Amino acid sequence: MAKRFTIAVVGCGDISRYIALGVKLNPRIRIAACVDSVEETALAFAKRHGIPRHFTETAEMYEGVPGIDAVYLAVPHYLHHGMITDAVRRGIPVFCEKPVCTSLHDAMDICRMAREEGVKVGINYQYRYDSACYAMARAAQRGDLGDITYGRCNLPWYRDDDYFGLGRWRRRIETAGGGTLITQASHILDALLWAVRDKTPVAAQGMTAQRRFRDIEVEDLCMGTLEMDDGSILGISSSMIAVPEQPVSIEVYGSKGTGIYTGPESPRVRFLGAKVKREKTGIFAFHALFRSLEAFRRWILFDEPYLTSVEQSLPVLAAVLAVYASARSGRREPVDTRYRDFLK
Ligand SMILES: NC(=O)c1ccc[n+]([C@@H]2O[C@H](COP(=O)([O-])OP(=O)(O)OC[C@H]3O[C@@H](n4cnc5c(N)ncnc54)[C@H](O)[C@@H]3O)[C@@H](O)[C@H]2O)c1
């Protein structure tokens, strides 16, 4: 068997458990080392997943475990920029959890550096690899639904007290960048913006609220609208206080037909009004997260097309930041579209 694609995991918290499962189910990938600033967390993660080395510092890991093919970063948002650029400087490809970081300036800095150094950086917006979501977005991109005049997405989720109690970084703007919009709903907004990728968001209006978690800085409710350069409109609503939690939905309404996605558990897409060919991702794996990881591997090793490079993560970050700016100012705010230079 060919040498397995070897990664290190940095940040051994919630999402890394699922990545470790994805690696177990993929015989082409192995984890050579894990890093967590909390020693017991790194040790427990290494033991549970049979990982040979564990560290508390990324620099020690890079020195102690040479020759890794990529690093997977699953750390608080405020650490993303520094950890991505550190890996890029070392020439190591990066698979980083969303969002790329919390400022567009820093995100474009990462894009520039990745280009200069010739190092690939991917951001894990895995809904693009959800089979039903992919089929809907590709149908919209191919024009099967006609011109998309509006779209909307909704994330009615619930988070219990442990969510902010255990992950204290999630409480603060400085460490998380925001609440339910940037941390959870940016997934579905990314997928929606990707479905209408020929349009650019130019202005935003937003409202945020803290209805249940009142001793935190970030929002637990958010609603926003995005005005696109052709006059079409996208809407987003996001909650972490819906009881009971419901599936997310992404809807695109075109001049010929409509696509409606629900998921991510038991993902499903319905097409109304138009006859649509359901395109497949071409990657076989049990879950969108695992397909996203496998797609990253193929991109790094074989330069196969990859849907969520760091450049691709810029539109959603620009849109999210404009919704937040509007929620703060109470006015319609422009979207910073300078990122478009990186999508050419
Ligand atoms: N793709 C998805 O569906 C999905 C789901 C959940 C979270 N996420 C993303 O994953 C990332 C991590 O979120 P989480 O929920 O797993 O957070 P978490 O708080 O559960 O885990 C983060 C871990 O990072 C460790 N850490 C903190 N500082 C560190 C440092 N300097 N060096 C090494 N380790 C450090 C913490 O000790 C903790 O164990 C975030 O970007 C989040 O938005 C993605």
Per-residue pLDDT tens digits for 82-128: 999 999 999 999 999 999 999 999 999 999 999 999 999 999 999 99
Q: Which of 274, 279, 326 is nearest to 148 (CA)?
A: 274
What CATH number should be reported for the domain holding residue 155?
3.30.360.10
Which residue spans within 113-177 are E strands per DSSP? 121-124, 148-156
Question: Which ligand 1 atom is at minimum distance from the Cα of 167?
Answer: 19
Distances (CA, A) of 225 to 145, 174, 201, 317: 21, 24, 10, 14
What CATH number should be reported for the domain holding residue 40?
3.40.50.720
Contact 237, 223 (CB under 8 A): yes
Ligand 1: residue of 19, 77, 97 to mutate (most ligand atoms within 8 A of CB) is 97
Both tokens of 206, joined, read 């937003």
| 224 plus 241 within the same structural domain | yes
What number of H helices and E strands is found in the chain? 12, 14
| 186 plus 216 within the same structural domain | yes
pLDDT at 262: 98
Distance 251 CA to ligand 1 centre (A): 29
Both tokens of 45, joined, read 């993660």
| Chosen domain end from 126, 149, 174 | 126
Which residue spans within the chain are E strands per DSSP? 5-10, 29-35, 53-55, 70-73, 94-97, 121-124, 148-156, 201-209, 221-228, 233-239, 248-254, 258-263, 268-272, 333-334
Range of the domain at 183: 127-273+308-343
pLDDT at 194: 98
| Chosen domain end from 78, 98, 126 | 126
Contacts of 211 (CB under 8 A, 6+ apart): 220, 221, 241
Q: 């006059």: which residue's tokens?
A: 231
- Name residues contacting ligand 1 (CB within 6 A): 10-16, 35-38, 41, 74-77, 79, 97-98, 124, 126, 167, 183
Distance 322 CA to ligand 1 centre (A): 24
Residue 84 falls inside a structural domain = yes
Q: Is the bond leading into 247 cis (omega within 30 degrees of zero)? A: no
Does the predicted model carry a pTM greater than 0.85? yes
pLDDT at 2: 73
Distance 145 CA to ligand 1 centre (A): 38
Question: Which ligand 1 atom is at minimum distance from the Cα of 15?
Answer: 16
For residue range 2-33, list pLDDT tens digits in order.
789 999 999 999 999 999 999 999 999 999 99
Distance 129 CA to ligand 1 centre (A): 21
Contact 120, 114 (CB under 8 A): yes
Distance 73 CA to ligand 1 centre (A): 8
Residue 302 falls inside a structural domain = no
Q: Which of 322, 344, 341 is nearest to 108 (CA)?
A: 341
